[in-house]
């Protein structure tokens, strides 16, 4: 199945970005927190708990009373929702026949008392829609509203492996504010790369240090002389670069020999063509070490302002994280 274009946006609900499942009516068979974990979920045939079959998702018990089950999710960061993926992977005889999604704007985490007293003003963003067993269900959302919390309803009960809320980060920046311009939590986005055979480019700009070697960007072994692998990141906002951190955490026998960083200023996103852009050197080719954080301040050749950066690695290998700290060039909301 070819995924819709909105899946290239940021999963605003993702646990690794800071999303939280705050409340559920029932998670008797499988915990609500599984909904926003990475991947599509796994299945282990002979694994059971004292409550029944172990499942990698959120699963409620068979409902014998009126009503339906739901989960409330706090987004990692406020944003515009452009699409959902409600995935019933491995839930075959126990998936919910229907689901819907509501959204709200809340300043704080709602208390359980608030939820039960229905004090929250919810707006339906996805009407009640059919679900199939063991399948991804993509729903495009046409709205520019900013939301902070979502309510996933299932009718009447059952199991959902994963829930994704793809959209655009909304943050307000003041001119001169120092932030990590590349960070996904601030609105940075990995746009393109020439290779991500072993692990995805999006990992580069996730919070924290890499959990393991799979939690980074790693390319295949390339035998071409003088090879260069690259990834392009759109910064959260145009900024002047003050400090760069490149982390090869966990990459010990497969870190790149060298790296360089380039930047450009380009506002016409729909016309972005990496091959036609004049890139400016931010950091020249520099030797790297295994499993190490590399910091650069005085070595920066050009501070910008830039809207995009291109990380080059020579000849190939793996990088855990890239941080591009800088001052915002404009007062901006996005």
Which of 122, 150, 169 is at the close of a domain? 169
Within this chain, do residues 120 and 199 fall inside the same structural domain, yes or no? no
Q: What is the mean pLDDT of the chain?
A: 93
| The last residue of a domain, from among 132, 153, 169 | 169
Q: Which contacts (CB < 8 Å, 24+ apart) does range 267-273 have?
A: 267/307, 269/234, 272/191, 272/308
- Cβ distance 87 to 164 under 8 Å? yes
Specify whether 108 is located in the same domain as 47: yes
Give pLDDT, residue 175: 86
Q: With b meaning 16 or more CB within 10 Å and e meaning fewer, what string describes 276-298? A: ebebbebbeeeebeeeeebeeee
Indicate if the pLDDT at residue 73 is higher than 70.
yes
Q: Are residues 97 and 220 in the same domain?
A: no
C-alpha to C-alpha distance for 308 and 310, rounded to whole angstroms: 7
Q: Give the structural domain span for 200.
A: 173-333
pLDDT at 68 over 70: yes
Q: Which pLDDT does position 270 carry in this prediction?
A: 65
Per DSSP, what are the bridge partners of residue 69? 154
| % pLDDT > 90, the chain | 84
273 and 164 part of one domain: no
What's residue 35's pLDDT?
Answer: 98
The torsion region of residue 296 among left (phi > 0), alpha (psi -120 to 50) and beta comes to beta
Whether residue 143 is found in the same domain as residue 194 = no
Q: Report CA-CA distances (Å) from 132 to 56, 70, 97, 98.
A: 17, 18, 7, 9
Number of folded domains that form the chain: 2
Mean pLDDT of 63-68: 94
* Alpha-carbon gap, residue 27 to 311, rounded angstroms: 43
How far apart CA 301 and CA 324 sit, in angstroms, is: 14
Rg from Cα positions in the chain = 22
Are the beta carbons of 22 and 110 closer than 8 angstroms?
A: yes
- Alpha-carbon span 229 to 248, nearest angstrom: 15
Q: Which of 289, 313, 324, 34 is closest to 180 using CA atoms?
A: 324
Q: Does 179 lie in the same domain as 159?
A: no
Please check whether residues 32 and 9 belong to one and the same domain: yes
Question: Which residue, among 93, 112, 127, has the nearest Cα to 24 in the 3D structure?
Answer: 112
Q: Are residues 215 and 317 in the same domain?
A: yes
Residue 248 scores a pLDDT above 90: yes
* Distance of alpha carbon 85 from alpha carbon 317, whole angstroms: 31
Q: Are residues 153 and 29 in the same domain?
A: yes
Q: What is the pLDDT, as a whole number, of residue 6?
A: 95
Q: For residue 77, give the CATH number of its domain.
A: 2.60.120.260
Q: Is the pLDDT confidence value at 333 over 80? A: no
Per-residue pLDDT tens digits for 84-138: 999 999 999 999 999 999 999 998 788 888 887 888 999 999 999 999 999 999 9
In degrees and rounded to multiples of 5, residue 184 shows phi and psi of: -60, -35
143 & 15 share domain: yes
Residue 253 is classified by DSSP as S
Could you give phi then psi for residue 35, rounded to 5 degrees?
A: -55, -35
Nearest alpha carbon to residue 67 among 120, 116, 13, 139: 116
Residues 216 and 234 in one domain: yes
pLDDT in tens, 170-193: 988 888 889 999 999 999 999 999
- Assess whether 234 and 321 both reside in one domain: yes
Q: CA nearest 102: which of 128, 130, 126, 74?
A: 126
Last residue of a domain, one of 135, 169, 203: 169
Backbone angle region of 311, left / alpha / beta, with phi > 0 → left and psi within -120 to 50 → alpha:
beta
Contacts for 184 with CB less than 8 Å, ≥ 6 apart: 10, 17, 169, 202, 205, 206, 207
Pair of tokens at residue 269: 């996103």
The pLDDT of residue 332: 52
List CB contacts of 302: < 8 A, sequence separation 6 or more.
263, 280, 281, 282
User: What is the Cα–Cα distance from 258 to 313, expressed in whole angstroms?
Assistant: 6
Specify which residues 192 forms β-bridges with: 232
């Amino acid at each position: 199945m070819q995924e819709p274009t909105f899946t290239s946006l940021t999963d605003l609900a993702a646990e690794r970005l800071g999303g939280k499942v705050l409340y559920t009516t029932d998670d008797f068979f499988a915990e609500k927190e599984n909904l926003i974990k990475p991947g599509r979920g796994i299945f282990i045939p002979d694994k059971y708990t004292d409550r029944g079959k172990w499942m990698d998702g959120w699963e409620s018990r068979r409902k014998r009373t009126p009503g339906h089950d739901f989960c409330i999710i706090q987004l990692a960061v406020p944003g515009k929702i452009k699409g959902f993926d409600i995935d019933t992977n491995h839930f075959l005889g126990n998936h919910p026949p229907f689901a819907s999604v509501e959204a709200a704007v809340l300043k704080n985490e709602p208390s359980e008392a608030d939820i039960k007293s229905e004090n929250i003003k919810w707006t339906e963003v996805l009407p009640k829609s059919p679900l199939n067993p063991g399948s991804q269900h993509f729903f495009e959302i046409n709205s520019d509203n900013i939301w902070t919390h979502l309510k996933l309803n299932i009718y009447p009960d059952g199991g959902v492996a994963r829930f994704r809320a793809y959209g655009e980060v909304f943050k307000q920046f003041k001119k001169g504010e120092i932030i990590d311009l590349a960070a996904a939590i601030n609105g940075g986005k990995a746009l393109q790369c020439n290779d991500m055979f072993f692990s995805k480019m999006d990992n580069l700009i996730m919070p924290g240090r890499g959990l393991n070697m799979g939690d980074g960007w790693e390319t295949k072994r390339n035998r071409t002389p003088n090879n260069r692998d690259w990834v392009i990141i759109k910064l959260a906002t145009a900024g002047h670069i003050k400090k760069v951190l490149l982390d090869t955490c966990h990459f010990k026998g497969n870190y790149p020999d060298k790296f360089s960083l380039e930047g450009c200023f380009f506002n016409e996103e729909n016309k972005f063509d990496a091959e036609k852009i004049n890139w400016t050197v931010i950091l020249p080719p520099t030797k790297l070490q295994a499993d190490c954080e590399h910091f650069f301040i005085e070595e920066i050749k050009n501070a910008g302002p830039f809207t995009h950066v291109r990380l080059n690695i020579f000849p190939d290998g793996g990088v855990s994280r890239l941080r591009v700290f800088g001052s915002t060039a404009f007062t901006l909301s996005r």
